Amino acid sequence: MSGRSAYEPVVLQITGMTCAACAARIEKVVGRIDGVEEISVNLALERATVALDESKVPLGRVIEKIIQLGFGATKQQMAAEDNHEAEQREFRRLQRTVLLSLLLTLPFVWAMAGHHGLSHAIWVPELLLNPYFQLLLATPIQFVIGFPFYVRAFQALRNFSANMDVLVVLGTSTAYFYSHYLTMRVSSMAAGEHSMHEMSMPLYFDSSAMILTIVLIGKWLEARAKQSTRSQLQQLHLLQAKTARVLRGSEELVVPAAEVRSGDMLVVRPGEKVPADGEIVEGRALVDESMISGESVPVEKKPGDAVTGGTVNQNGVLTIRSTKVGKETLVAGMIRLLEQAQSSKAPIQRLADKISGVFVPVVVGAAIATFFLWYLWLSPGVEGDALEKAIAVMLISCPCALGLATPTSILVGTGRAATLGILFKEGKTLERLSSADTIVLDKTGTLTTGRPEVTDVMAVDRSKEAFLRLVASAERYSEHPFGKAIVGRAAIDGITLSECSRFQIVAGRGVQAEVEGSDVWIGSSAWMQELGISLGLHQDRMQRLAKQGKSVLHVATGGKWIGAVALSDSIRTTSSQAVRRLQQQHGLEVVMATGDRQAAADAIAKRAGISSVYAERLPEEKLLLVQSLQARGRKVVMVGDGINDAPALAAADIGIAVRSGTELTQAAADIVLLRGDLNSIADAMRVSRKTIYNIRQNFAFSFCYNLVAIPFAAAGFMAPWMACTAMALSSVTVVCNALRLRRA
């Protein structure tokens, strides 16, 4: 049995959501369907991630249920460019609607000038004060431009829920129909001499028109701000090449990049993007890899070097054999992880979800109470005055800002992190990382370059060349940096490798294989002791090499020790700076855990500025170290790149894998660093803490806004159009505050 879960996540594009109550309603209803394990709706991205078992419930039923709730739902399968174009079309349509509504509302704004002290001197045409003319202007705004609000409000009420559209429809319809009633009552009066006097009574056509217009303007501003929040994701999509030059026999064909297959021979000319991840077969060139490494200086590439899709060939002609195409490329993986992080929901959002679920009914109740308070006591019998206060309460307290507080900040925060080469897999990782207090760093490939060099070769009973051939042949399939270094040394010395069979990695100990008909064991001295293999008279020399900070791999065959290889791995130039940042700027306790010998570990730790060192740790012992720190109440971050780090990465509160690590390591991690520079960890901490602080700012603003605004409106200090303006600006303020994270 594979152990694979039957629940598969599916991403749906949702349309028609207007506030947090909409998202909460979808989650509540769909989450009850048998076969749906989990659903997370992201208001900012207008997207839902549904984990379901299609053997119990087909995806079509989930989509049908969302449509019944009054929203649009489709499986997200369009290309990024198509999605972007669809968003642009919707934005332009909204822009046209706003302009039309604004044009019809301007006469009301002009007419209002005569009612205010500062602008009473402005001439107002008599026509603009005529109730029939106002009715003529307000009707298309209310029922043509405002028709989508009625549709969404009806669908929400039909499903026993309430959202922002319900508030808008209740408020504007009340103002419109009450004004319509007054106008018709005046027209039915027979006494002509009283008609003009009656017709001068306060009407609220201007309120209904301005409310709808301001809501639309707010939506337009919000949509424009949201486009800015998605810019990092769009930039990643733009990195991907649109076409590729593929060699078919002797012919060079230009095909869409999506048609490139693994193993194709690609030609990349100067100024062109590399269309897929691959290996250079022919040619030399400078390649701009700044989108991955962050370094502006181009890297010289030659045959045998790996290249990444999306990087730019600056000079020379390259022939590349594609190794990873389509969704397997690095850039596609970056896009996938970024979309996944931006679509997920942080735990901090739970409070907002609970409040949003009951917010609208509570607001409607508050508006009704406000009406009766004014009608019965504060302004007895004056229904127009009481109605105006109730409408203001309904309109000022929409939960839009509350719903946007978390997802918008996560959207921008994860996007900013991506530009720094930091990929968060889920939004909740941002929250967990901000509270971390201990970081455990692997040594080889993390603190060090991971590119060790062979410094000493000691052979017994055979020549160094024969010994190195045996060792390199046994290591030829190894992905460990030590194994690669040994194979590389053999290549430099011109040694031809022998066939290797029954290759096996023994985690935390070494490798074993069959070479030239003999079983070969390569690994630590502790493993040799476990195997019952004695080092003979050479232990003193091994200890001297270890004290120099070198890593010693012992070699045995036929149950006998036959020699050793010493390797030295240099510390990354930025490791000590990164450790200082983690300690001083973020207050983290930095620990090093490695499977290497104590002497080698101490030498690297001293140069990096780390005092807590745990050496000679097997994978299960690294796991136990993480668990022991957690048992002491520590929030642990584990950073590693090797397969032996995967268990500890999975157990830690946050696991961070460097890009050079194995696929298993990256799969077990919560964060992937595209750059080897450990300053990326400090950058991730900074982005995380700033994002959570930004979310708390948004929450504080949203809560305080409603706590102050609702009593303010109920007390009669705010006209409906002013309340609507405040509501729209609250959402825009939250989005703009989140956009500040782009400069983090």
472-526, pLDDT tens digit by residue?
A: 999 998 888 889 899 999 998 999 999 999 999 887 789 999 998 899 999 988 8
The pLDDT value recorded for residue 191 is 44
| The total number of structural domains that make up the chain | 5
Half-sphere exposure of 129 (CA within 13 A, CB side): 15
Residues 59 and 90 both lie in one domain: no
Q: Specify whether 149 is located in the same domain as 217.
A: yes
Q: What whole-number percentage of the chain has pLDDT above 70? A: 89
CATH code at position 671: 3.40.50.1000
Res. 285: pLDDT tops 60:
yes
* Residue 562 scores a pLDDT above 70: yes
Is the pLDDT assigned to residue 199 strictly greater than 80? no
Domain membership flag for residue 418: no
In degrees, rounded to 5, the angle at the alpha carbon of residue 161 between the alpha carbons of residues 160 and 162 is: 135
Q: Could you read off the pLDDT of 141-194 as tens digits, one per residue?
A: 999 999 999 998 888 888 777 777 887 888 888 889 988 888 887 776 534 444
Same domain membership, residue 612 and residue 578: yes
Averaged pLDDT for residues 115-141 = 81
Query: Is 278 inside any structural domain?
Result: yes
Interhelix angle 164-187/147-158, nearest 10 degrees? 120
Residue after which a domain boundary falls, among 300, 328, 356: 328
Q: Which residues touch 233 (CB under 8 Å, ≥6 apart)?
A: 335, 338, 339, 342, 415, 418
Residue 70 shares a structural domain with residue 123: no
The residue with tokens 């209740």 is 170
- Distance from C-alpha of 422 to C-alpha of 409, rounded to nearest angstrom: 16
Residues 552 and 512 in one domain: yes
CA neighbor of 353 nearest in space, from 407, 302, 294, 284: 407
What pLDDT was estimated at residue 372? 94
Distance CA 246, CA 319 (A): 9
Identified catalytic residue from 442, 641, 653, 683: 442
pLDDT at position 597 over 50: yes
Distance, in Å, from the CA atom of 443 to the CA atom of 641, rounded to the nearest integer, reads: 9
Domain contains 283 = yes
Residue 312 falls inside a structural domain: yes
Q: What is the CATH number of the domain that holds 557?
A: 3.40.1110.10
62 and 100 fall within a common domain: no
Residue-number span of the structural domain to which 247 is assigned:
243-328
What mean pLDDT is reported for the chain?
Answer: 84
Percent of the chain predicted with pLDDT > 90: 31
> What are the two backbone dihedrals, phi and then psi, of residue 245, each rounded to the nearest 5 degrees?
-95, 115
Judgement on whether residues 248 and 228 belong to the same structural domain of the protein = no
Q: Please enumerate in sequence order all residues whose Cβ is within 8 A of that of 411, keeping only pairs 6 or more positions apart, or say none.
A: 44, 45, 229, 230, 342, 738
Alpha helices for 456-536 (secondary structure H): 464-474, 481-492, 525-530
pLDDT above 60 (res 77): no
* Token duo for residue 167: 């508030």
Looking at the fold, whether 259 and 164 belong to one and the same domain comes out as no
Cβ neighbors of 710 (< 8 A, separation 6 or more) are 363, 366, 393, 396, 397
Residues 583 and 605 in one domain: yes
Q: What is the pLDDT of residue 230?
A: 63
Distances in whole angstroms, Cα of residue 673 to Cα of each of 274, 641, 680: 22, 10, 7
Q: Reduce the secondary structure of 260-281 to three states and give it as a string.
A: CCCCCEEEECCCCECCCEEEEE
Query: Is 442 labeled as catalytic in the residue annotation?
Result: yes
CA distance 348 to 603: 42
Pairwise pLDDT comparison (539 vs 576), residue with the higher score: 576
Q: Decide if 381 is inside a domain.
A: no
Q: Is residue 398 part of a domain?
A: no
- With a cut of 80, say whether residue 527 has pLDDT above it: yes
Residues 652-669 pLDDT 10s: 999 998 875 556 556 778
- Nearest to residue 176, comparing CAs of 217, 153, 143, 129? 143
Domain boundary among 22, 41, 75: 75
645 has a pLDDT exceeding 70? yes
Task: Please give the Cα distance from 681 to 639 (Å, whole number).
Answer: 9
d(CA 135, CA 180): 7
Is residue 382 scored above 60 in pLDDT?
Answer: yes
Q: How does pLDDT run across 425-453, given as a tens digit for each residue?
A: 888 898 899 999 999 999 888 898 877 88
Q: What is the pLDDT of residue 738?
A: 86
Is the CA virtual torsion 424, 427, 430, 432 positive or negative? Answer: negative
Average pLDDT over residues 305-313: 89
Establish if 720 belongs to a structural domain: no
Same domain as 677, residue 528: no
Q: Which two tokens stand for residue 209?
A: 């028109």
Task: Please tell me whether residues 99 and 61 are part of one structural domain.
Answer: no
Same domain (yes/no): 220, 295: no
pLDDT of residue 425: 85
Residue 317: CATH number of its domain: 2.70.150.10
Instruction: Give the pairing of strands 500-506 and 453-459.
Output: unpaired
Tokens of 465: 């060349």
- pLDDT at position 140: 96
> What 3-state DSSP class applies to 392?
helix
Check residues 549 and 387 and name the one with the higher pLDDT: 387
13-to-80, 350, 411 alpha-carbon distances in Å: 12, 22, 16
Q: Is the pLDDT of residue 334 over 80?
A: no
Determine the straight-line distance between the first and last CA of the chain, rounded to whole angstroms.
46
For residue 48, give both structure tokens.
Answer: 């839902």
Q: Please count the other Cβ atoms lying within 10 Å of the Cβ belonging to residue 607.
A: 16
pLDDT value at residue 203: 79
User: Is residue 349 domain-resident?
Assistant: no
DSSP-based three-state secondary structure for 719: coil
Whole-number pLDDT of residue 739? 83
CA angle (438 as vertex; 435, 441 as ends), nearest 5: 130
Mean per-residue pLDDT, 187-213: 65
Question: Of 328, 347, 379, which residue is a domain's last?
Answer: 328
